[in-house]
Amino acid sequence: MLGHITHQGPLAHTELDNYPFKVTGQFGAAALMVISGFFVCQTVRRGDSGRWLWKKISRLLPPYLIAVVLTYVVMRFAGAAFNHQSFDSGWFDTLFGPTSDHVAWASSWYVPVGQDLLVNLFMAQGWNQYFIWLDGSYWTLPVQLMVFAAAAALWAGTPWFRSNRSIRLLVWGLILIPLFVRFWVIGVTNPAPWAYGVVFGFGLHRMHVFAAGIAIWLWSRSRLSGRHLAFLLAAAVWAQDLHLYPDGVPLPTDPARMPSDIGFAVMLVAICAAAKGPDWTFLRPLARPITWLAGISYGVYLLHQELGYILARVLQDAGFDGWARLPVLLGAAILGGWLLTVLVERPAHRWLTQPRRAAPAPRTPPDDLVPDGSRTSGNGPAPVSVGGSS
């Protein structure tokens, strides 16, 4: 959150550039996916993989859809207000049409239209470079869902995949094959729309972080040596740098590049320590707030970025300086994430995953409606005699 508020926000909207400090390292989402890859290995082995996948979808998709709609509405009306624009009359033009002057980028505050809403609801942003991401954090969800689906299919349908040899080949393939495709097969400067779709639609630029999570899980289960893990994680850091800075900009020219690489490497070491090292008892006094924040972290992630930029602009227009805006933005993100969690994520997950009641058994006539002599302790009433004799 600090990186998005203090660094990414001012990059997107230069008038917000007066925070007391900047967190330029870009490794938070990468660390999230490393942990996600670790827990895929930890949980997909439990029970039916199809059921496991459905539970993942049931938890991730409903809050995402609500966050997309909310972000779209706020971006549309806030952007128009910031740009001093209006909409044509009629409910459709007000909600989905272009502004009256037909200018979407009158400033850095984009005014989305109905197509942008549909593209984001269906998670198609990565397939065309001209599609607009309503929120920069949304790219993680389609990538994670693809990885979850692939993990469920591999675990359920390919028993050979469970061997150490096969899974190690998978880990190295997730690191090296995307690099080969992006830099040698497609080429970094390839302008073709299909090239963009292959890289970003399939999430090739992020497969190395899931590979790192799988490798750490293997190592934590003593199925991978420490030396092999070190080589894999070094390759993952290298891949992270290449994918984030594919044009090869020298390190001194980008203030975020070195902090991003170092931060990602440090996070990998910390995740390794948490996965296999001794329990972190020094955090025990903070266990409850950490657990609570972890429980609402997905909601916070979905709401804090673009909506946070809009709130920052409103606060700045009201006279709040950077020091005053920062705690308000953090508090608003936590509050919004908590509301999204308790009002959408948890209820939707419970409703979608609860066992459905079996169909009621066919009703049988009560005893007083069954002819005398037909009651039996067997599977049904005995045959009834005709004419009073049997």
CA angle 34, 288, 305 (to 5 degrees): 50
| DSSP assignment string, 234-246 | HHHHHHHHHHHST
pTM of the model: 0.86
Q: Are 237 and 212 in contact (CB under 8 A)?
A: no
DSSP letter, residue 129: T
Q: How many CB atoms lie within 10 A of CB 159?
A: 10
Helix (H, G, I), strand (E, B) or coil at 99: strand
> Residue 222 — left, alpha, or beta (φ > 0 → left; ψ -120 to 50 → alpha)?
left
Q: Are 20 and 322 in contact (CB under 8 A)?
A: yes
Q: According to the model, what pLDDT value does residue 377 have?
A: 45
Backbone angles phi, psi at 234, to 5 degrees: -65, -40
Q: According to the model, what pLDDT value does residue 107 have?
A: 93
Q: How many CB atoms lie within 10 A of CB 7?
A: 20
Q: Are 22 and 323 in contact (CB under 8 A)?
A: no
pLDDT digit of tens for each residue in the chain (390 aa)?
999 999 999 999 999 988 888 888 889 899 999 999 999 999 998 878 899 999 999 999 999 999 999 999 999 999 999 999 999 989 999 999 999 999 999 999 999 999 999 999 999 999 999 999 999 999 999 999 999 999 999 888 776 667 778 889 999 999 999 999 999 999 888 888 899 999 999 999 999 999 999 999 999 999 999 999 999 999 999 999 999 888 766 665 677 888 899 999 999 999 999 999 888 888 889 999 999 999 999 999 999 999 999 999 999 999 999 899 999 999 999 999 999 999 999 999 999 998 876 555 555 555 444 444 444 444 444 444 334 433
Q: Could you give the CA distance from residue 295 to residue 3 in angstroms, rounded to a whole number?
A: 21
Q: According to the model, what pLDDT value does residue 386 have?
A: 38
Tokens at residue 220, please? 């934590």
Q: Structural domain boundaries of the chain?
A: 2-18+27-93+110-280+297-354
Q: Could you give the CA distance from residue 215 to residue 253 in angstroms, rounded to a whole number?
A: 33
